[in-house]
A and B are shown apart, each in its own frame.
Chain A
Amino acid sequence: MNDALLVTFVKALALCVVLLGAFAYMTVIERKLLGRMQHRYGPNRVGPFGLMQPIADAIKSIFKEDIVVSASDRFVYFLAPFISIVFALSAFGAIPAGPAGSLFGFNPWIVDLDIGLLYVFAATSIGVYGIFLAGWSSNSKYSLLGGLRSSAQMISYELGLGLSALTIILIAGTLNLREIVDFGVWSLSPLLWLPLAVSFVTYVISSVAEVNRTPFDLPEAEQEIVAGYLTEYSSIKWALFQMAEYVNMMTAAAFISTLFLGGWRGPEALNALVPGVAEWPFIWLLLKMAIFMFLFIWLRATLPRFRYDQLMRFGWIWLFEIALFSALVTGAIIAFAL
């Protein structure tokens, strides 16, 4: 077997394990943080500080009865969770986590794609199919409504997402994520700081909608449509959707950091204190991801859910226009002022 292929395979496997482990502990961290924000303790029964909770949850999920709806479209019903989780996991592969050769002599990314940015967008978009097909194949009105909302929502917010990222593409002039990080989008010109900041905000908001988190969690609005596309899923298939949701969150967090906040690079000023600290792999990306994960949880603890028409109006009338305008301004500045 080809050595490069083997290395890629091992790295991909390691990334999957890390992402799923991170998913398991994100659930605990999220429940703890939500609990503390609501004056509760959160899970603290299993193990010290509830740290064994994900293991208990995993065992429970696996051994629960797996109910298959008899009226469902069997094949699609089984396929949907796998589409969700596979594309959630594969989207992360293109994101660089450090300088070349910093992972024991290997590169800390799975693939170095020239179209890395498009690849991440594409992979996360295919994840919508998992949710949509789950809603459709369950043959239940709640699931169908959830799936419908989800696809409509994600398609609307992908526009804001893409147009906000267009600012980055215009500035960096490349779709390669590694080169975008090396380019340093904030360093080109102070004139671009305003459109960049606007794009950053619209991108973060769109990301929250893209990963189905509060206040944009309409696809699984418990009060109106039970759990949306998850209604007819139980046992490990349900857990796979949850995994996909959290992995999508982590991908979104890493992707925001990579596009707007210099990815794996730390602040250069710290190099004066500890030489080379800004070049350390993983740490800075993880730190930036942690900030955004906290933001997602924090938003969930604070905001109520949007109504469906409010959500669509916000997406199409505000986010889309603002992102478009910011991209246009960026283009104009690059074309005429630089």
Chain B
Amino acid sequence: MSVLDIAKGMGVTLSHLFKKPVTVSYPEQKVDIKARFRGRHHLLRHPNGLEKCIGCSLCAAACPAYCIYVEAAENDPANPTSPGERYAKIYEINMLRCIFCGFCEEACPTGAVVLGHEFELADFKYKDFTYGKDDMLVGTVGSKWQRREADRLEKPVELGFKAGQRVELEGVDY
């Protein structure tokens, strides 16, 4: 370590003193999330309003953490929930067990379950971490706690991030 090297290093630190910090002051400032970020799952619908999920349980089979539970039921031909023969009567994901690997998304033959950008999933009770269809279908914004808090304050859910659009997230609007 010569004196010149030290001087050079001191110059570097001094120049960085006048640069803008890269820290995102998270709750006040929104996090800039990349489009392919894997957060909370969304259950998508076809443009005609039918659910994409056909209740095949491939996602549950692919899941390395065994956090998905699907119970299928026959569609009512007069008033179908999904375009196939069957639909998911119950679709639950335990967000505490989920490792957000995205294997469910890869396994899904219809592109029904897609990992979105929401990451603020903290809550107080174990049971509140089991997300059902109501919590994940398109149109539901925010985690369970965020929605409870929004109800209490009578304000819309405020998400702590901004993200680029992702084509797989059909119909999801952040």
Contact = CB atoms under 8 A, between A and B. Distances in A.
B22 A302 contact: no
A122 B17 CA distance: 37
Contacts of B21: 35-36, 39-41
Interface in B1-56: 6, 9-10, 12-14, 16-17, 19-23, 25
Interface string B98-140: 0000000000000000000000000000000000000000000
Given A33-B17, A298-B13, A302-B13, A39 B6 contact: no
A298 B16 contact: no
Q: Which of A299, A301, A302 neighbours the largest number of chain B CB atoms within 10 Å of its CB?
A: A302
Interface residues of B, number: 14
A35 B25 CA distance: 14
Contacts of B12: 302
Interface string A143-167: 0000000000000000000000000
Q: Which of B10, B16, B17 neighbours the largest number of chain A CB atoms within 10 Å of its CB?
A: B17
A277 B14 CA distance: 30
Q: Chain B interface mostly helix, strand, loop or mixed?
A: helix
28 contacts: A33-B17, A35-B21, A36-B16, A36-B17, A36-B21, A37-B13, A37-B14, A37-B17, A38-B16, A39-B16, A39-B19, A39-B20, A39-B21, A39-B22, A39-B23, A40-B23, A41-B21, A41-B25, A298-B10, A298-B13, A298-B14, A299-B10, A301-B13, A302-B9, A302-B10, A302-B12, A303-B6, A303-B9
Given A41-B21, A302-B13, 14 more contacts: A36-B16, A37-B13, A37-B16, A39-B21, A39-B22, A39-B23, A40-B21, A41-B23, A41-B25, A298-B10, A299-B10, A302-B10, A302-B12, A303-B6
Closest 3 CB pairs of A and B: A302-B13, A39-B22, A302-B9
Interface of A: 33, 35-41, 298-299, 301-303
